[in-house]
Structure formats: C-alpha cells, structure tokens
Amino acid sequence: MKILVGLKRVIDYNVRVQVKPDGSGVVTDGVKMSINPFDEIALEEALRLREAGVAEEVVVVSIGPGAAQQQLRTGLAMGADRAILVEADEEVQPLTAARVLLSLVEKEQPGLVMLGKQAIDDDCSQTGQMLAALWDRPQATFASEVVVADGVATVTREVDAGLETIEVDLPALITVDLRLNEPRFVKLPDIMKAKKKPLDEMPLAELGVTAGNFVSTSAYAPPAQRERGIMVEDVDGLMAALKDKGLV
C-alpha cells in the first residue's frame, strides 16, 4: 500500500508573526519557515505504518513556491520515499488544494491519504474534508489513534464530547490531531541521504487546476493588546467591576 501525505510550508510555530505596516499581509522576509506541525505528525504516522509493514511507500506532497522544496527535503530526511512539489506562485486556498491533491491521488492511487487536521497559518481545517468529498471515499478526521489492518482503518478521533472510534474502508482519508504521536528528530546523516531521494516538480497548470481564490482578505491587523487586569478584594468588588463593564 502507498500512503500520500500532504506537507504545507508555514511560518515556524516558534516565530512571533508580525503584520506588515500597510496591513497587506504578514511579514515573511527572513522568517523561518517549517512544515505545518499537524502535517509533520501525519508524516510520522505514515512512516510508522510503513515500518509496521502496513505500507510499502510513503510519498510527500506540497503545493507552493519553489522554496517549499526545503520542507519536502525535511520530509524525505524523516523517511519518506519520494516527494512531489506542485509549484504555485500565489496562495492556494483549501478547495484548490483539494483539487490538486485529487489529481495526484488519481495518478498515484494511494491506499491512504494523510493530512494534518489544519494548517497553523489559516486554520481552515477544510482541505481534507473537501478532498474526501471530491474523491468520494470515506474520511476520519481529528485522529488521535490509527490502526490499519485487513483493508480497514480503525481511527479514534477527538470530538467535543470526548473520543469516538470509527472504522473506514480503504482507500480513505485521515486528518490527524496533535496527540497522535511525537514526530522523530531528523539526524544529519538522514538529511544528507534525503538529497539523493527523488523530488518531482510540476506546475499547477499541468494538473489542469487553476488557483482561483474564492475568499479574499481585504486587510490584516494584529490582535488588540490585552488590557491590564484589576485586583478586587472580595466578591462584592468583583461583582461591582463586572457591572461596570456591563458583563452582568
């Protein structure tokens, strides 16, 4: 079985994001970029499934600028067998990403597609669900545990009420949550070996998909600064402060 894993290039989660002075976007020049943390967890799970003998090949895919090769090389260093970069100069929104992934799914014929449940830059949490609908295959989202055997994936997923366990027939799509695993540390020898692994590049147009943006952002602004708190001596003081703010 082949597993296809999506990797998105995002600003590293340790970086404090700054909004451009003109409000046209966020500052990316000179900013560290990394694999979306949820996608890294998806890749780790795919590698563990291959190591357990469930899968034979893990292919990582990214949609974005040429610089996204860096994140794909990191995925190869973690242990992926091949990488595919679909080059897109402009921002790709969830539906376009789902259509691109569908084209690759039809070409690669994986038994399982694994994605992070969301990206930390836009927090859409839509691409996986859209891909499953376009692919017309079962989906299991927000996975915190995955077991694959006999053509069935048993997935424990995190929902508002707690945990839910479902079974989906393969081929299927799974989006993963933070508590699924801890991604492995990439060692220097693995980074060197990754340079020799195949990384295919293709333009977005080659897949017959246009990067039409269905949602536009008019302006960006940083969150409002947190107001300084006040100290109260007792419950009566607390109630009075809440009444002053119109909260009770």
What confidence tens digit (pLDDT) does each residue in 196-231 have? 999 999 999 888 887 777 788 888 888 888 888 888
Q: Which amino acid is at 60?
A: V
Distance CA 209, CA 88 (A): 11
* Residue that wins the pLDDT comparison between 221 and 8: 8
Give domain status of residue 99, yes or no.
yes
**Mean pLDDT taken over the chain:** 93
Q: Indicate which CATH number applies to the domain containing 157.
A: 3.40.50.620
In the block, which residue shows the tokens 């839509």? Answer: 126
- pTM value is 0.86
Q: How many CB atoms lie within 10 A of CB 210?
A: 10
Give domain status of residue 101, yes or no.
yes
Give domain status of residue 241, yes or no.
no
Summarised one tens digit per residue, pLDDT across range 128-147 is 999 999 999 999 999 999 99
Summarize the confidence of residues 168-187 as an average pLDDT: 95
Give domain status of residue 232, yes or no.
no
DSSP 90-145: S---HHHHHHHHHHHHHHH--SEEEEES--TTT----HHHHHHHHHT--EEEEEEE
Name the packing angle between helices 127-135 and 94-108 (round to 10°).
Answer: 50
Give domain status of residue 248, yes or no.
no
Give domain status of residue 223, yes or no.
no
Distance CA 3, CA 55 (A): 7
Give domain status of residue 180, yes or no.
yes
Read off the pLDDT band of 125 (50, 70, 90). very high
Structure tokens at 184: 């492995």
Total count of domains within the chain? 1
The whole domain housing 58 covers: 2-218
Give domain status of residue 29, yes or no.
yes
Confidence (pLDDT) at 71: 96
What phi, psi does 226 have (nearest 5°)? -70, 130
